[in-house]
């Protein structure tokens, strides 16, 4: 089983070393060369709608799996405790369905964020109106 060495860095270097997973907390991203050996740069954004990074003090895991669907190799694997664990190849149909699902999940996530922020604003307005009313009643 192939292992990756993880390195926490502020900036991702221009020249990536083979077998190294670079993690920039500042920029919310993890980057490595494709595990198949093709040399392509694989970028995994860390966010609630992309990849989740787990660090147990010794090793790194990324979730979900990494599917390099845009590369000729179309490699598919997991990074679990610094180890590459190969996953099944996906058909074009499965790749398209997964991309569509990801888009829906992103829209749902960001729309719910907007909704909760609007609700918060209306609560703030309501409190402000109550406060103004209270002050107004004091002045009478």
Q: Which domain holds residue 118?
A: 91-140
- The residue that leads in pLDDT, 22 or 124, is 22
Which token pair is 129? 């109106």
Are 81 and 96 contained in the same domain? Answer: no
Are 104 and 45 contained in the same domain? Answer: no
Q: State the pLDDT at residue 109.
A: 85
Q: How is the beta sheet containing 83-86 ordered, strand by strand?
A: 52-55, 60-67, 76-80, 83-86
Which H/E stretch holds residue 126?
helix 92-139
Are 44 and 24 contained in the same domain? Answer: yes
Question: Which has the closest alpha carbon to 43: 29, 25, 23, 59?
Answer: 29
The domain total for the chain is 2
The overall average pLDDT reported for the chain is 89
Residue 120: which pLDDT band, with cuts at 50, 70 and 90? low
Residue 76 has pLDDT above 60, yes or no: yes
Are 85 and 100 contained in the same domain? Answer: no
Average pLDDT over residues 56-75: 96
Are 1 and 40 contained in the same domain? Answer: yes
Are 84 and 96 contained in the same domain? Answer: no
Question: Which has the closest alpha carbon to 21: 10, 35, 7, 37?
Answer: 7
Residue 20: which pLDDT band, with cuts at 50, 70 and 90? very high
Are 123 and 86 contained in the same domain? Answer: no
- The residue that leads in pLDDT, 110 or 40, is 40
Are 83 and 106 contained in the same domain? Answer: no
Region at 54 (left for phi over 0; alpha for psi -120 to 50; beta for the rest):
beta
Question: Which has the closest alpha carbon to 68: 89, 84, 52?
Answer: 89
> CA-to-CA distance for 67 and 102, rounded, in angstroms?
13
Question: Which has the closest alpha carbon to 28: 7, 13, 50?
Answer: 50
Contact by Cβ (8 Å): 32, 4: yes
Domain boundary among 90, 106, 121: 90
Are 82 and 95 contained in the same domain? Answer: no
Task: Provide the whole-model pTM.
Answer: 0.76
Are 78 and 64 contained in the same domain? Answer: yes
Question: Which has the closest alpha carbon to 48: 31, 28, 34?
Answer: 28
């Amino acid at each position: 089983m192939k292992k990756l060495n993880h390195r926490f860095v502020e900036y991702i270097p221009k020249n990536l070393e083979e077998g190294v997973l670079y993690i920039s907390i500042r920029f919310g991203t993890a980057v490595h060369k494709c595990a198949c050996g093709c040399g392509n740069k694989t970028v995994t954004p860390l966010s609630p709608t992309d990849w989740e990074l787990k660090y147990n003090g010794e090793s790194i895991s990324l979730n979900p799996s990494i599917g390099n669907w845009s590369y000729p190799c179309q490699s598919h694997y997991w990074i679990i405790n610094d180890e590459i664990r190969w996953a099944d190849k996906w058909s074009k149909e499965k790749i398209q369905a997964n991309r569509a699902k990801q888009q829906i999940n992103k829209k749902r996530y960001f729309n719910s964020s907007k909704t909760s922020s609007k609700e918060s604003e209306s609560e703030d307005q309501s409190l402000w109106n109550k406060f103004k009313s209270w002050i107004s009643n004091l002045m009478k």
